[in-house]
Each structure stands twice: as structure tokens, then as C-alpha cells.
Amino acid sequence: MKNIFKLTFVFITTLLLFNCKSNNTNKSRLTGLPFNDARYGNFAKGKPDAGQKPPLGMVAVEGGSFTMGQVQDDVMFDWNTTPKKLHVRSFYMDEAEVTNSEYFLYVQYMKNVFSPAEEKYRHIYNSILPDTLVWRKSLGNTDILSENYFRHPAYADYPVVGVSWLQANEYCKWRTNAVNLKTLIDKGHITNIFENDTISNFFDTDVFLADDTKLFNGDTTVYKRGVGRTLRKRGEARPSRDTFQGRKISQADGILTQRFRLPTEAEWEFAAKANIENREYNNVRGRKKYAWNGKYSRSKNKRNKGDQLANFKQGKGAYSGLPGWSSDGSDIPNKIKSYPPNGFGLYDMSGNVAEWVADVYRPLIDNEANDFNYFRGNLFTKKMIDKDGNVVIAANDAGAKVEYDTLPNGKIIPKQLPGTIKYIPITKDDTTLRRNFTESDNANINDGDLNSSRFYEDDEEQFASRPSMYNSPKTPTRQSENGIDVLVNDNKKRSTLISDKSRVYKGGAWSDREYWLDPAQRRYLPEYMATNFIGFRCVSDKVGPMANKKRRARNPSR
């Protein structure tokens, strides 16, 4: 009996302590006010560990210091890869490139939301389609790839190509919205709108947070369950389970995912190098030439000794080797995860397809550039607010027209998707007395604008013999000839192709020689161009601590 009494006492004491601890976490530590309680204002607070699991298809990359631009072979001697020590924050990255099937899901989804059968939406669908004609060659029989590579199930798990930098960015935005919509449906905060043909499937995270009445044709019955409790007066009937209760989800609840985006050049190179493989305590031993550890592109393991560790071009006309003895297993992009991952668990960071990164291209990283999470290309904006204090939604009214833009290559794209919040550049009033930034568009800050060019002159015509530092061709103009609009190219003498629309792509591809497999090598193309050897993968920021595990020493020599 004494033992039973002791056990009961211990159990009750533990339960009380647990309840006290649980209740304390739902109260303000400094004021005592409860969180998520309608009796006390329903103030928001999510779980501190919310959102710390890697998103689907991603792996965690723990941040740290590394030397960016440290190449093994620099035969160009062009200062394009000047070494600079930087720090990169922790983030999540796709373990492999976005595949044809994943991008095709995006295409189908957008076709359902913005039907090309409607006149005002007819250019939206075409703007997201990959350019399948990138496979065509004037002296090559490659139309079979133009017709099949993107849609045929045989290539479903192959990296998507023919996607421009602009298209890759739009996919990342859509993925953010798709993941958040699925999360809200699974947690019961929104009904499954895919089962209701009368409700639009369009969902935008920013609109949901700012003014969710602008979603789903204004149907508020879509929202099922909120956070906290709704006070019920004495005598009132208990609401049904289908009635929305409490406040709506906010960013403070930690339920919504962080944005998906293209990696910065620093993040991509840091993840590809994976220096944790040759780390000894807090030092890095040696210099990695590839995404894997070692000096050669062939495997040294007994089981697959001699096999190529990446998909690349080994010589003139040598894309895969002899029949019956293929060296890398593919003559075009190969199925994802066909080769071993690097130290972070990332596949194909060397070879298969090159990948778009977020940065605007410049030949070198300025010595005065930020050494913490370096990135060139920031465009600081703010929500557009109307005279009534409401956020402005693009083409939100039934009769509103969708605004389109024409790219230099003639492709028509929407300036903004209908139903999304309009953003405008910040103004000088927003940067008054700020020390950390002074303007909206920072693509050419300290490098590349007229003020930083060697021969700066206000009048280009008068001083045509003195070109600016980055004197790239201007965007073609449209002129009318005999009633027909034609594109007129810039025919002035230009000294470079570099502009604020030039974007970096990293990593070697199936069509590249071994030299480009080094993660530190870098190249660029205009953001509106697509090729048959450039794909992409997404990243998402990690919030909270750098790592969720303790430090571990690694000493390979012991």
C-alpha cells in the first residue's frame, strides 16, 4: 500500500509540474498574459520549433565560412573567380534538380487556374512552358528530344531544361503557395478546394496573410478552423464544426513555410563544395576540385571502380563512351540521383545540368562586398496601398485586364499574375537616415553603374569613344513598318554582354568538359534565355538556430 501511495503521489506531482510547465509556455514570461486565448485578446504565438523540419525533397545545409571563387584550375586568368572568404547562413536545398514531372505539375496547375481559353489569360500559359526547341540543331537530328523530353514519361525524372531564369523564379513562387495551401488543407484550416468546382484554386500566400477575403472568390466559408477560442455568450448554441472559429493563421503561428527561391551564388557554391568532407575540427584540409572529395572524376570504390561520378562530355563527340561500355551512362541529361551525393546529401552538383542561381553577374566580387550571406541583385520593394489603406491586388476585378510585357526575344509574359499583391520600389522617404541601404535596386551598386565606370560621362553620344564599364546591347525596340510591328536591334558598337539582366549559372553540364565541374567556376546568360543544359533547384531559408545538433569533431587521420 505504501508503494502504491508513493507511486500515486509521484504521478500526480509529475502531472501537475507538466501542466504548470505547459501552461507557462502559453503565457508571456514578462507580463503573464496568455497567448492564443480569446479571453485575453487572442495574441499570437506559435511553437518555437515550428517549421524546423526540412521541406519535402530538401536536405539541411548547415552554414559556415568558406572561400568562394577558389578554383583548382584557372586557365583563363580573368579575375572571374577571385577568392574571397564569406559566411553563409544555414538553409534547406533540393536534394536534386527540379524534374520534368515536377515542372509539368506546375504547368497543369497553372493551366487549370488561368485557362488559356480565356482571352485575358491566353499568354500566361505560354509564358511558363519550357522552350522545347532548345534541342534543335541546324546540323543535328534532335527533333525527337524536342517532341518528347519534357512530356514523355520516359523522361519524367530527368531535370527540366529549356527554362529561363525568369521562369525558374516563377516556379519557386508557385511552389511556396502550393506547399502552404496543402499545409492549411491538411491541418483543417481550409477546406479542400480541389473538391469544389465552383471555387477558384488560385492561392497566394501574401494575399492570404494580408487580406484573405480576396481569395476563393470572396467565399469565407472556405476557412474552417482558426487559432485560439471564440468566446460564446451564455445561452448561445455551440457552433458546428464547419463554422470558422478563432482568428486566422498568421506568420507568427509558424505553420506556413518559408519562401522557396533560387539559391544565391554563394549558397550554391558552398553547398556544392561540401567542405565538411575535408574538415578537421575547425580547419579545411586541401582544396576540392569537384562536389565530391578527391582529385579524379572516376570512382575509387572496389564495387564500381572506374565509373564516372558525374555526367559530362569527355571529349569531342564523346558524350557517353562506346556502346556496351558507357562511361557515364547517358548522352544527354540523366535521371536525377544516378550518381552518388556529396557530403551534404546533394545530387548532381557537378555535372548533369548546370543550374541557375539568383545573382546578377559581375566578373568579380568586389573586395568591399558584404562577407555575410553575399548576394548581388537585391530589389527592395513594399506593398502598394490605395487611398483607402488597402493593399492593391493585380487584375482583381472581373473586367480588369492583365498587364503583359514583351521580352527582348519576343516572348510575352505577364508583368504580374492576376490575384497577387502589387509591389512598388521603396522610395527615398523609406531610406531616410538609414545606414544599411539607400536605394531600391541594388543590382549594380558599387559596380557596373555609370558612376562606377572608368570613363564616366553624362552624354553617351558625345563621348561614344569612351564606353562605360558594362556597355551591353540595349533591348530591341518595336517599330511600325507598313502597319506591321517589327523588332529593331541595337546596332551600336558594344563592348560587353554584361548587364543588370545577366544572371549567373553554376556547375558543369552533360554538354560541358570536365573543367566546368568545379563548383567555383561561373558563367552567365541573360535572364530571359533558355538552353538544353541549364536547369535549377530551389532553396528555402532555415529559421532559428544554425543547427539542431551539437558540434562534432571530425579528424579523418584518426
Report the CATH number that the domain containing residue 96 is assigned in CATH.
3.90.1580.10
Which grid cell sits at 201?
Answer: 484554386
Query: In the chain, which residues have pLDDT < 70?
Result: 1-25, 49-51, 76, 228-246, 365-368, 398, 448-469, 550-558
Angle in degrees, CA 349, 355, 361, rounded to 5: 120
Q: Is residue 481 part of a domain?
A: no
How far apart CA 223 and CA 215 sit, in angstroms, is 11
Q: What is the pLDDT of residue 157?
A: 97
Report the distance separating Cα 171 and Cα 104, nearest Å: 11
What per-residue confidence (pLDDT) applies to 488?
A: 83
pLDDT of residue 11: 64
- Whether 519 and 506 have beta carbons less than 8 Å apart is answered as yes
Residue 120 lies in a domain: yes
> Whole-prediction pTM value?
0.88
Cell 550518381: give the residue: 339
Residue 459: predicted pLDDT: 47
Name the nearest CA neighbour of 94 among 172, 149, 166, 205. 172
Q: Check residue 463 and give its pLDDT.
A: 45
State residue 99's pLDDT score. Answer: 98
Q: Which residue segment(s) compose the domain that 317 sits in? A: 33-189+224-230+239-371+502-541
* Beta pairing partners, 441: 379
DSSP-assigned beta bridge partners for residue 479 = 486
Distance of CA 205 to the CA centre of its chain: 15
Secondary structure (DSSP) of 212-270: GGGSGGG-GGGB---BS-----TTPPPPPTTS--SBPP-GGGS-SPPPEEPPPHHHHHH
Q: Which pLDDT belongs to residue 75? A: 74
**Does any domain span residue 397?**
no
Q: Which residues have C-beta within 8 Å of that of residue 155, sequence separation ≥ 6?
A: 100, 148, 149
Examine residue 327 and state whether it is found in any structural domain, yes or no: yes
The vertex-427 CA angle with 421 and 432, nearest 5°, equals: 130
Distance CA(266)–CA(375), nearest Å, equals 7
pLDDT reported for residue 424:
95
Q: What is the pLDDT of residue 254?
A: 86
Please tell me the distance from the alpha carbon of residue 309 to that of residue 8, in angstroms, as a whole number.
62
Instruction: Give the separation between CA 538 and CA 336, rounded to whole angstroms.
Output: 15
283 lies in some domain: yes
In a domain, 205, yes or no: no
Long-range CB contacts for residues 384-390, cutoff 8 Å, separation at least 24? 384/421, 384/422, 384/423, 384/424, 390/211
Is 262 inside a domain boundary? yes
Q: Which residues of 274-298 are buried (b: 16+ CB within 10 A; e: fewer)?
A: bbbbbbeeeebeeebbbbbbeeebe
**Counted domains in the chain:** 1
Cβ contact 340:303 at 8 Å: no
Dihedral class, residue 329 (left if φ above 0, else alpha if ψ from -120 to 50, else beta): left
Instruction: State how far the Cα of 315 lies from the Cα of 335, in Å rounded to an integer.
Output: 22
